[in-house]
Amino acid sequence: MAAKKTSKTQSTQIRRALEPEGPVISREEFLAFKNPKGDVIVEIGGRSVALTSLDRIYWPQEKISKFELLSYYLQIWPLIKPFLEDRPAILQRYPRGINAPKFFQHDLQHAPAYVRTVKMLNEQGREIDYAVYTDLPSLLYLVNLGTIEQHPWHSRVQDITHPDWLVLDLDPRGAPWRNVLKVAGVARKVMETRGLRAYPKTSGSSGIHLYLPLQLKHDYEQVADFAHRLAEEIVSRVPELSTVERAIAGRRKGQVYVDWLQNAKGKSMVSPYSVRAKPGGTVSMPLTWENLEQGVKISDFTLKNVPELIQEHGNAWERFFEDRQRLDF
């Protein structure tokens, strides 16, 4: 009788890059550049980080360069850090800019020693090495690869089964922006009736994201189930303006899709303060409910003005992680 074949999980060993050689400049010297070209090595937190092709244009219409993108993340790191730190990264890489083909990368095969990786099984049972956001050098390394947008997991590697937040994506897909704002207001009321406080941000693309910071007591399945129920209750209140119908063909004109499906394990949402690979270099901007009521637009927030806006108005989500909530099932 022939022996039964067994399948084994296979994993490749990540290759570690050598320390870059050459003159090293400081963070301040890097930010002081005016239209730099070529490559540099920047000292960040005791790490030598190689940043390349600084003059490459990522946004052709606006002439926004890779250097400007890297500079943005250097400046915004203190605010984006809590939403990235210790989380696996799903990379969407645009190495030639937003008008060239992008590709997804889950399995990191080559990286410097300072970029942490974690081995996890994908849906096919294959063990892969996810990059993990740990510090500013790790973020800059990934951005330098062409990772314009930051897509972290909803949980940290220390407790990978319990997400830090629940998220609803209000996706217009052609619906008027005023409908998105109205549905967001209804969603706020639905959550408040349950004693929950949601935090809004622009998607940076076309819609609004609503986040609920969570106590680490709920697993992914529980969070997704709760998000589904929230979405259905929102739609029940304004069915003419919203839907949970995933298929675009099944939606009525003007309806906003209340997407709850991104709460599953292994899914991700673009991070607060992340740049988007969209015209204008828009940013997924954390807001207050008062901001929404006053009427904001996606185009109001870009990598060119967000650092200044934060200096002027402060961080709308400053107490986000101090407001962790428990879901009442």
Q: CB of 143 within 8 A of CB of 92?
A: no
- Domain finish residue from 120, 152, 184: 152
CATH of the domain at 261: 3.90.920.10
Comparison of pLDDT for 15 and 297, the residue scoring more: 297
Residue 123: the pLDDT is: 64
Nearest of 216, 267, 262, 260 to residue 235 by alpha carbon: 260
Residues 265 and 121 in one domain: no
Q: Taking residues 37-61, what's their average pLDDT?
A: 97
Domain boundary among 114, 130, 152: 152
Q: Rg of the Cα trace of the chain?
A: 21
For residue 5, the model assigns a pLDDT of: 32
* C-alpha span between 283 and 148 (Å, rounded): 11
Total domains, the chain: 2
Tens digit of pLDDT for each residue in 156-178? 999 999 999 999 999 999 999 99
| 36 and 138 housed in the same domain | yes
Asked if 94 and 143 sit in the same domain, the reply is yes
Given 152, 173, 205, which residue is the final one in a domain?
152
- Give the domain extent around 43: 23-152
43 with 84, same domain?
A: yes
Statement to judge: residues 181 and 264 lie in one domain: yes
User: pLDDT by residue (tens digit) across 240-276?
Assistant: 999 999 998 899 999 999 999 999 999 999 999 999 9
pLDDT digits (tens, 9 = 90+) for 3-13: 333 333 344 57
User: Is residue 53 a part of any domain in this protein?
Assistant: yes
Model pLDDT, residue 219: 98
**Separation between Cα atoms, residue 105 and residue 121, nearest integer Å:** 14
Per-residue model confidence as pLDDT tens digits over 176-225: 999 999 999 999 999 999 999 999 999 999 999 999 999 999 999 999 99
Q: What is the DSSP letter of 96?
A: T
Together in a domain, 31 and 148: yes
pLDDT of the residue at 9: 36
Q: What is the DSSP string of 278-292?
A: STT-BB--B--HHHH
The percentage of residues in the chain with a pLDDT greater than 90, rounded to a whole number, is 88
Least confident of 6-20, 93-107, 306-320: 6-20
Higher per-residue confidence, 248 vs 142: 142
Decide: residue 192, CB within 10 A, 0-12 exposed, 13-18 middle, 19+ buried.
exposed
The answer to whether residues 137 and 180 belong to one domain is: no
pLDDT of 125 > 90? The answer is no
N-term to C-term CA, the chain: 53
Give me the mean pLDDT over the 73-101 stretch.
97
Q: What is the mean pLDDT of the chain?
A: 93
User: 57-65 — which CB contacts under 8 Å span 24+ positions?
Assistant: 57/97, 58/94, 58/97, 58/98, 58/148, 59/97, 59/98, 59/279, 59/280, 59/281, 60/97, 60/98, 60/99, 61/279, 62/279, 62/280, 62/281, 64/281, 64/303, 64/304, 65/35
Same domain assignment for residues 172 and 147: no
Q: What is the pLDDT of residue 2?
A: 36
| 48 bridge partner residues | 43
Q: Is residue 10 part of a domain?
A: no
Same domain, 246 and 303: yes
Q: Can you give the pLDDT at residue 262?
A: 96
CB-based contacts of 215, cutoff 8 Å, min separation 6:
324, 325, 326
